[in-house]
Amino acid sequence: MNAQTDATHPPTVLITGASSGIGAALAQAYAARGWRLVLVGRKAEALRATAAACARAQGMQGVDPGRIRLITLDLLQTEAWREQAGALVQAWGCPQVVIANAGISHGVDLARPEDLAAAREVMDSNWLAALATLAPFIAPMRARGNGTLVGVASVAGVRGLPGHAAYCASKAALIHALESLRVELRGSGVRVVTISPGYVATPLTAGNPFPMPFLMLPDAFARRALRVIECGRAYATIPWPMAVVSKLLHVLPRAWYDPIMAGQRRKPRKPHQP
């Protein structure tokens, strides 16, 4: 990735869920390469902390608003987000890379009626908000004839996991939505990249009560993800051993899969649920 696209400005990457975890690691990785950053998240203080870390990665003492732009917003406020995206395009032009990374992870117990609200929250945050993130940049990228739209899904989208009905469904929906978009944009110069992480040590996985094979640190994940995005790969699972596992799970017959997974520990339910 060349950090200079013209004589005036470096290329721009927009990253949602940039307050922590994968999003913050991606932001710092791009900052170290000299890119301009648009960091989006719901938590203003945490977003400022990511911006400060990115400034240090760029060799600056403080955050330069000409190189790091912060947007504090819930992406489910779709009209407000579209306005922010439009203002960004007017001020900085359309980003070269847009990464829909924001998401949440709660276990649900579908036997409990109150958990349907948590299931809807997961689906809206992981699927609808991701599509809303990318939508304002499709037409500008198509008109320009280039750009990369990235969705961060999960290997959990391959098969259903106990206690994870909402999360698995949301990531499966995102994988297929991105595939639809990729086909639609074929030949336009706009690339659509789906990245499915395995287990990454972030706040989302911190409370998992089950083994997490091939657990990665966020910065190691980010380095691999940047290579995938640069190459414009349609789909990638990171790390590669988890790709092997996910392919095996995908083809494993239900008669074998069901009894194996039935005994696994469940993802914890949302903390405030009774």
Q: pLDDT tens digits, the chain, 274 residues: what are they?
A: 434 445 478 999 999 999 999 999 999 999 999 999 999 999 999 999 999 999 999 888 888 889 999 999 999 999 999 999 999 999 999 999 999 999 998 888 888 998 999 999 999 999 999 999 999 999 999 999 999 999 999 999 998 888 889 999 999 999 999 999 999 999 999 999 999 999 888 877 767 767 777 889 999 999 999 999 999 999 999 999 888 988 888 888 889 878 887 877 776 776 654 4
What pLDDT is stored for residue 2 in this prediction? 39
Tokens representing 48 are: 């400022």
Q: Which residues constitute the domain of residue 99?
A: 12-262
Residue-level pLDDT at 4: 40
CA 71 to chain centre: 16
Q: 67: domain CATH number? A: 3.40.50.720
- Asked if residue 217 is part of any domain, the answer here is yes
Which two tokens mark 45?
Answer: 């203080």
What pLDDT sits at residue 25?
96
Report if residue 274 sits inside a domain. no
Residue 6, domain member (yes or no): no
Told to judge if 167 belongs to the known catalytic residues of this protein, a careful annotator would answer yes
pLDDT at 64: 86
CA angle 93, 63, 70 (to 5 degrees): 50
When divided into structural domains, the chain yields a total of: 1
Residue 25, domain member (yes or no)? yes
What is the model's pLDDT at position 272?
A: 54
In a domain, 3, yes or no: no
Reported pTM: 0.91
pLDDT at residue 246, rounded to an integer: 86
Q: d(Cα 139, Cα 93) in Å, to the nearest integer?
A: 13
Please tell me the distance from the alpha carbon of residue 221 to that of residue 215, in angstroms, as a whole number: 10
Q: What is the pLDDT of residue 7?
A: 47
Q: Where are the alpha helices (DSSP H) in 58-186?
A: 78-92, 115-123, 129-144, 165-184
167, 199, 235, 257: the catalytic one is: 167
Burial 221-248 (b: 16+ CB within 10 A, else e): bbebbbebbeeeeebbbbbeebbebbee
